[in-house]
């Protein structure tokens, strides 16, 4: 009888979204994979609450950081870690993070208030966790000021995202908003221009584009691209020149290309002054 009551209670929690909410919060604080955990410990060890290991033997660099920062190391079985991470691609290693801090839009605007130059990435309907993680990794590599996405139209920060991000998810300011179009308008008040990526006749060739000092780069999902609402809101529409038979890149590849070119142009502009 107790087992029946227990199951009925679990079903009620699932139906009401309470248990899912707890599970999402737990996975939201996990970074999995040797490379991602190593990068995280190297760059932001204070973000880590403890290390979870399945198996024996740690890389020397990780052992040193654990000792220096007095981090807890817990041993789990491979299956236990897989269940916790929701994936078996953890390579026997995971980091449990301290509570992640998301910026409100107001806080993010205050953070950028004194910056003369800033490049922001905005994600419109990008749900694939591997793409979101890869975009974060590229964004951190190319000195992006932060990433903005919709609370309702984008991927959550799952272990798959953080693994693909290779630690970048803990280094970048992350901003979740309710309305992307309204966010563009508010950032415009702070001197930001916006450029959406799209394959249209109206799009300007990325190679010919001279980026303003403050710019929002808007990236859309592979299937639908940037929404019509944001295309209308954007100050510029850009596309990267394609030389092969395939006429498009996936969104994370496109992000790396656009971010490299935009930052290259900005650096070139600085050198000519």
Residue 146: inside a domain: yes
Q: Please check whether residues 82 and 194 belong to one and the same domain.
A: no
pLDDT at 224 over 80: yes
Residue 4: inside a domain: no
Q: Which residue, 79, 97, 115, sits at the end of a domain?
A: 97
Half-sphere exposure at residue 85, Cβ-oriented, CA atoms within 13 angstroms:
31
pLDDT at 150 over 60: yes
Instruction: Provide the CATH number for the domain around residue 52.
Output: 3.30.1330.30
Residue 12: inside a domain: no
Residue 5: inside a domain: no
**Cα–Cα distances in Å, from 73 out to 23, 56, 84, 118?**
22, 12, 16, 38
Q: Please check whether residues 235 and 128 belong to one and the same domain.
A: yes
Determine the 3-state secondary structure of 100 from DSSP. coil
Residue 255: inside a domain: yes
Number of helical H runs and strand E runs in the chain: 11, 11
Of residues 199 and 52, more confidence is placed in 52
Instruction: Please give the tally of structural domains in the chain.
Output: 2
For residues 206 and 218, give the distance between their C-alpha atoms in angstroms, rounded to a whole number.
14
pLDDT in tens, 83-123: 888 878 888 898 888 877 789 999 999 999 999 999 999 99
pLDDT at 25 over 60: no
Q: What is the mean pLDDT of residues 24-51?
A: 78
Task: Give yes or no for a contact between 254 and 198, defined as CB atoms under 8 angstroms apart.
Answer: no
Q: Please check whether residues 83 and 129 belong to one and the same domain.
A: no
Share of the chain above pLDDT 70, in %: 85
Residues whose CB falls within 8 Å of the CB of residue 135, separated by 6 or more in sequence, listed in order: 121, 123, 126, 147, 219, 251, 252, 255
**Cα–Cα distances in Å, from 224 out to 54, 123, 124, 179?**
40, 12, 10, 18
Q: Which residue, 97, 125, 140, sits at the end of a domain?
A: 97
Q: Read off the pTM.
A: 0.72
Determine the 3-state secondary structure of 205 from DSSP. strand
Domain that residue 264 falls in: 105-271
């Amino acid at each position: 009888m107790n087992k029946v009551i227990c199951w009925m209670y679990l079903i009620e929690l699932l139906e009401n979204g309470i248990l899912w909410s707890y599970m999402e919060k737990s996975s939201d604080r996990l970074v999995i994979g040797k490379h991602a955990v190593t990068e995280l410990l190297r760059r932001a060890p204070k973000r880590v609450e403890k290390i979870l290991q399945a198996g024996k033997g740690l890389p020397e660099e990780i052992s040193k950081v654990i000792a220096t920062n007095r981090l807890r190391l817990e041993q789990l079985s491979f299956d236990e870690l897989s269940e916790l991470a929701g994936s078996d691609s953890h390579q026997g290693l995971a980091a449990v993070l301290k509570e992640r801090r998301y910026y409100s839009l107001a806080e993010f605007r205050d953070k950028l208030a004194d910056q003369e130059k800033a490049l922001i990435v905005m994600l419109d309907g990008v749900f694939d966790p591997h793409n979101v993680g890869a975009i974060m990794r590229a964004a951190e590599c190319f000195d992006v000021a932060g990433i903005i996405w919709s609370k309702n139209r984008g991927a959550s920060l799952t272990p798959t995202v953080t693994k693909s991000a290779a630690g970048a998810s803990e280094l970048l300011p992350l901003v979740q908003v309710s309305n992307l179009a309204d966010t563009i308008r508010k950032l415009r008040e702070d001197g930001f221009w916006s450029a959406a990526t799209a394959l249209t006749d109206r799009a300007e060739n990325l190679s010919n584009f001279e980026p303003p000092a403050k710019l929002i780069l808007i990236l859309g999902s592979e299937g639908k691209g940037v929404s019509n609402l944001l295309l209308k809101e954007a100050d510029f529409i850009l596309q990267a020149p394609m030389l092969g038979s395939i006429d498009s890149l996936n969104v994370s590849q496109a992000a790396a290309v656009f971010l490299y070119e935009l930052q290259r142009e900005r650096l070139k502009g600085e050198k000519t002054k």
